[in-house]
């Protein structure tokens, strides 16, 4: 593992050229745009594209892979996945793709504060082919998250029955909230999340997660109910855990699927966004005299 800026210099860039490439979104680690010169990465994971569009890493949408019918994009935190009627002036992933490619249709969503890989259909026929692939579990999605506490490295399945209102307007599991409010036409839906520990941090841990189902807020609900809330989650985590990160510490890291029209196998990986990688480094060990932020209320 070498510093990104040292790898760029090894490719022939001067220090100034390397920093300009980082600042203008010309550098990726895997599928993750980076502007962090001291971030460590394997040489084979560093991608330099000086001819690519000028972007602000972690602020602008980046196209990671595309053909005429499907795009995989990197969504920065703070960007909507789809248009919101009450927030028409704000950019969203589908709207940006439609502007650039003429047509775009959502096939899944990421929470506004979640960063990482998102799949977008660029034609109606590709959307029609992709939608059933999600329900038939033919699209593999894995996430990275920084959570309170540590998890075992052995994958564990979190299974529950989701309801839209657990009693306070938030989503939850029927097993945890048996008196949850249910609309007359609401059918409780099964939710399955796999979680495993990747790295032990100070009072937190880096975990991997795989979705078998795709319910709204599924990871956030499951991790909170299982005692490992996601840092920065202001809805489902205790207040101190919610305030322990500048935003939701959740990242869409892996997409793997077979293209429904060409049968090409697409496998893309996105390491942590720069801001979450910085958070991870800060949590590697406690500063002198520090108290774990997530250990209260």
Q: Taking all residues of the chain, what is their mean pLDDT, rounded to a whole number?
A: 92
Domain count, the chain: 2
Q: Do 257 and 213 have their domain in common?
A: yes
Q: Do 39 and 148 have their domain in common?
A: no
Element (H, E) at 156: strand 156-163
Print the domain residue range for 185.
58-295
Q: Do 45 and 64 have their domain in common?
A: no
Q: Do 115 and 10 have their domain in common?
A: no
In angstroms, the Cα distances linking 229 to 35, 43, 208, 255, 275 are 28, 33, 14, 23, 19
This prediction has a pTM of: 0.92
CA pair distance 213, 106, nearest whole angstrom: 17
CA pair distance 253, 177, nearest whole angstrom: 31
Q: Do 27 and 92 have their domain in common?
A: no
Question: Which of 112, 77, 200, 193 is CA-nearest to residue 148?
Answer: 200
Q: How many other C-beta atoms are found inside a 10 Å radius of the C-beta of residue 16? A: 8
CA pair distance 126, 170, nearest whole angstrom: 33
pLDDT digits (tens, 9 = 90+) for 12-60: 999 999 999 999 999 999 999 999 999 999 999 999 999 988 998 888 9
What is the CATH number for 150? Answer: 3.30.2350.10
Identify the domain boundary among 26, 51, 76. 51
What is the CATH number for 39? Answer: 3.10.290.10
Angle (CA) 105-106-108 rounded to 5° is 160
Give the pLDDT band of residue 198 (cuts 50, 70, 90).
very high
Q: Do 85 and 28 have their domain in common?
A: no
Task: Kindly give, in sequence order, each residue whose CB lies less than 8 Å from that of residue 108, ignoring residues fewer than 6 positions away.
Answer: 118, 119, 134, 141, 214
pLDDT digits (tens, 9 = 90+) for 82-113: 988 888 778 999 999 999 999 999 999 999 99
Element (H, E) at 19: helix 15-23
Q: Characterize 237-259 residue by residue with b for buried, 16 or more Cβ atoms within 10 angstroms of its Cβ, and e for exposed.
A: bbeebbebbebbbbbbbbbebee
Looking at residue 33, its pLDDT comes to 95
Mean pLDDT score, 255-275: 96
Mean pLDDT score, 218-243: 96
């Amino acid at each position: 593992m070498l510093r990104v800026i040292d790898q760029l210099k090894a490719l022939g860039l001067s220090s100034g050229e390397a920093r300009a490439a980082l600042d203008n979104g010309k550098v990726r680690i895997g599928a993750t745009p980076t502007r962090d010169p001291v971030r460590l990465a394997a040489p084979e994971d560093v991608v330099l594209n000086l001819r690519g569009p000028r972007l602000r890493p972690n602020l602008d949408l980046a196209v990671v892979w595309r053909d005429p019918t499907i795009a995989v994009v990197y969504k920065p935190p703070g960007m909507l996945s789809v248009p919101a009627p009450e927030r028409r002036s704000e950019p969203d992933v589908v709207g940006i793709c439609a502007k650039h490619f003429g047509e775009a249709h959502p096939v899944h969503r990421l929470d506004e504060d979640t960063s990482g890989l998102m799949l977008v259909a660029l034609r109606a026929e590709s959307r029609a082919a992709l939608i059933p692939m999600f329900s038939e579990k033919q699209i593999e999605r894995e996430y990275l998250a920084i959570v309170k506490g540590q998890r075992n490295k052995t994958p564990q399945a979190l299974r529950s029955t989701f309801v839209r209102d657990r009693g306070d307007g938030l989503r939850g599991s029927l097993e945890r909230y048996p008196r949850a409010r249910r609309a007359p036409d609401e059918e409780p839906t099964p939710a399955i999340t796999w979680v495993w520990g990747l790295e032990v941090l100070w009072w937190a841990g880096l975990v991997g997660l795989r979705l078998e189902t795709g319910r709204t807020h599924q990871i956030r609900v499951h991790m909170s109910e299982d005692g490992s809330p996601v840092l920065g989650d202001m809805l489902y985590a205790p207040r101190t855990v919610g305030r322990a990160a500048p935003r939701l510490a959740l990242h869409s890291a892996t997409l793997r699927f077979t293209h429904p029209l060409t049968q090409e196998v697409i496998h893309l990986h996105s390491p942590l966004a720069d801001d979450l990688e910085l958070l991870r480094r800060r949590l590697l060990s406690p500063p002198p005299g520090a108290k774990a932020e997530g250990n209260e209320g």
